[in-house]
Amino acid sequence: MQKRKLGKSNLEVSALGLGCMGLNSAYVPAPDRQEMIALLQAAVERGVTFFDTAEVYGPLTNEVLVGEALAPFRRRVTIATKFGFRIGPNGERLDGLDSRPAHIKEVADASLKRLKVEVIDLFYQHRVDPAVPIEDVAGAVKELIQAGKVKHFGLSEAGASTIRRAHAVQPVTALQSEYSLWWREPEAEVLPVLEELGIGFVPYSPLGRGFLTGKMDATTTFDKTDFRSGLPRFAPAALKANQALVTLLAAIAARKQASPAQVALAWLLAQKPWIVPIPGTTKLHRLQENLDAASLELTPDDLRDINAAVARTTVQGARYPEHLQKIVGR
């Protein structure tokens, strides 16, 4: 597996990471725990060194799973986790955000224990908290870095101004936000700021929460407990309208003797050398398929064809319902 550095930092990771949220949360049915431990360890064996989790996934249990699975490989891997949501005393998800400095430090201590590590490699603010100045957030993480509990500071779904303000207090190593062939908003303002400041970019949902794999159509349905069931982009009418994008992607994939998913990931990798996508999967064969995308070379002509094809399609449906949309892109 090729390696990439996240911006100007000294954090070098595999060109593709593994998003761990779906290993035991957000999607149904929930996979077998031992199988997911085996999947994580298989990823390490295949060269993956970058793993992404968060306190709120589960909540709490995803960090435990990742920590247990990766304990034998601690010196070989980079584990990123996140703070910023409210979680109750019994591990239940509560409404609202909480990035108060005292809470950030509490979360860090708890995450260290769940992950079975002595230091958090990359600590993201999961969502920008309008009640707490970003300078205070960056300052709290800076103190954690000085205390040896955290190595690198990250932001998730932050806007350009917020990134600049945070970076002035504590250098930001990476921004994690949604970015893919069907969500290209970061290109307008965020990517130029990251390039200017030397910050790496970690796209989540690089396969459009599974849509860009070509395995869905207008008849696809989701269990009510599946996160996608509440997303406008996965409503039947939107799924039907958005098939045009997958059809175009599949045509290019056939020409490259690759899968649509591989083309979508290779396209992301081709955008900037400091971009590291983190596709998630619960299946070993999908893991291998995704990792093979790192060796798929897209020529300038391929990239022009892909961009031209995408330009001819209009993606239907908002990526989040209104109440969630309010806390992204701040």
Domain architecture of the chain: domains with CATH:
3-208+272-295 (3.20.20.100)
Alpha helices in the chain (DSSP H): 33-45, 61-70, 101-115, 134-146, 160-169, 190-197, 236-255, 260-271, 284-292, 300-311, 322-325
- The Cα–Cα gap between 126 and 327 comes to 10
pLDDT (average), residues 224-247 = 87
Instruction: Please tell me whether residue 328 adopts helix, strand or coil conformation.
Output: coil
- Which residues is 275 bridged to in the sheet? 201
- The Cα–Cα gap between 270 and 238 comes to 28
Is residue 57 annotated as a catalytic residue, yes or no? Answer: yes
pLDDT at res. 167: 98
**What does pTM read for this prediction?**
0.95
Out of 27, 57, 124, 179, the active site residue is 57
pLDDT at res. 330: 80
Both tokens of 324, joined, read 């969630």
HSE-CB of 296 using CA atoms within 13 angstroms = 28
pLDDT at res. 104: 98
249-262 per-position pLDDT tens digit: 899 999 999 999 99
